[in-house]
Amino acid sequence: MNLEDLYRLLRNGHVEAQGIVDTVPDPLLVLDQNLYVRTASRAFFTTFKVTRDETIGQHLYELGNQQWDIPELRRLLEEVIPKSTAVVDYEVEHDFPSIGRRTMLVSAHRLFHPDSISRSLLLSIVDATERRQHEAEKDVLLGELRHRMKNLLGLVQAIARQTTAAGHSGEEYRDAFLGRFNALVQAHDAAYSQVGEADLQEVLQRTLEPYSPTGVLVEPGPTVSLTSGQIMSLSLILHELATNGIKYGALSTPTGQIRVHWEVEEASAPSLRLVWQESGGPPVAPPVSSGFGTQLIEFAVSRELGGRVELNYAPAGLVVEIVAPLGSVS
């Protein structure tokens, strides 16, 4: 084998090795013992918006705008790695100048050498930002589910207590209770399975009827067409308010009443102003802290309806005012 053949063999080996590195879908760095970059994957350049010339031969902490000079990563490479052969999925959260705040899972392995003398590191990086966001959203949804189930069971208890038993047979009480319970089930089913548009008045009456047929007054108002997403969000809010009304507010007493009315405000774009007003219930005092129900209402109004909500804990009764933009109004 002459020098030309040897060079060709080495070059082909290098190209093949780089091809393997570039095939890895996640960002990858090969560092020498002093943390200088020996090679990097194509995914690294793409993800962090840097070029090969800006990366190869540079110290890790000097890459980009020193975006990898992260205290957590320094500790990993300078304290943890020397004491072990590998670290897997070490979480690093950082603001990267070119791509914003990201949650990275960094894994570091010493490159294998048959004589165990290698001091080079293989640094693989997985962008787990969306995964972490999905996990956080899932936690919120599970918390909401637990909250909704707790409220739903409380509602069933309230319906059982409010269904009059005196002077009625067990069969009559059962029919009365099941009638209200079935109405509640239908309202929940309609709230979470609505497809297409529906009128606001219809949504309000259908959603609030099971809670108290006589204690909730839905006043006539202008025709407002709601999308399925708006229907679900509004139904969630109404269920939350009605549940609180049964447990603590106007619907917890025989004389209590809730008035719901709305108007359409015409400005640069039409918006809905919906008012929930309680009266005749026990004296109202502002809560010491914001519970999950209040947070749920505020989240649904701001994030899902794109509006704002004001909760006024007036002594005479809770007043809730919701203002949200509308798509189509007639």
Q: pLDDT tens across 245-264, in order? A: 888 889 888 889 999 999 99
Q: Which of 158, 183, 151, 77 has the alpha carbon at shortest distance from 120?
A: 77
Confidence band of 328 (pLDDT split at 50, 70, 90): very low
Q: pLDDT tens across 73-130, in order? A: 787 777 766 666 677 777 777 777 667 788 878 887 777 666 555 677 788 888 877 7
CA–CA distance from 168 to each of 139, 175, 222 (Å)?
45, 11, 41
CA–CA distance from 73 to each of 27, 33, 132 (Å)?
16, 15, 19
Confidence band of 276 (pLDDT split at 50, 70, 90): very high
* 176 close to 168: Cβ distance less than 8 angstroms: yes
Q: Which residues of 140-173 are buried (b: 16+ CB within 10 A; e: fewer)?
A: eeeebeebbeebeeebeebbeebbeeeeeeeeeb
Is pTM beyond 0.75? Reply is: no
**How far is the C-alpha of 152 from the C-alpha of 327, rounded, in Å?**
31
User: Residue 310: what pLDDT?
Assistant: 93
Q: pLDDT tens across 51-84, in order? A: 888 888 888 888 877 777 888 778 777 776 666 6
User: Residue 218: what pLDDT?
Assistant: 92
Confidence band of 329 (pLDDT split at 50, 70, 90): very low
Q: Which of 226, 208, 224 has the alpha carbon at shortest distance from 216?
A: 208
**How far is the C-alpha of 151 from the C-alpha of 193, rounded, in Å?**
20
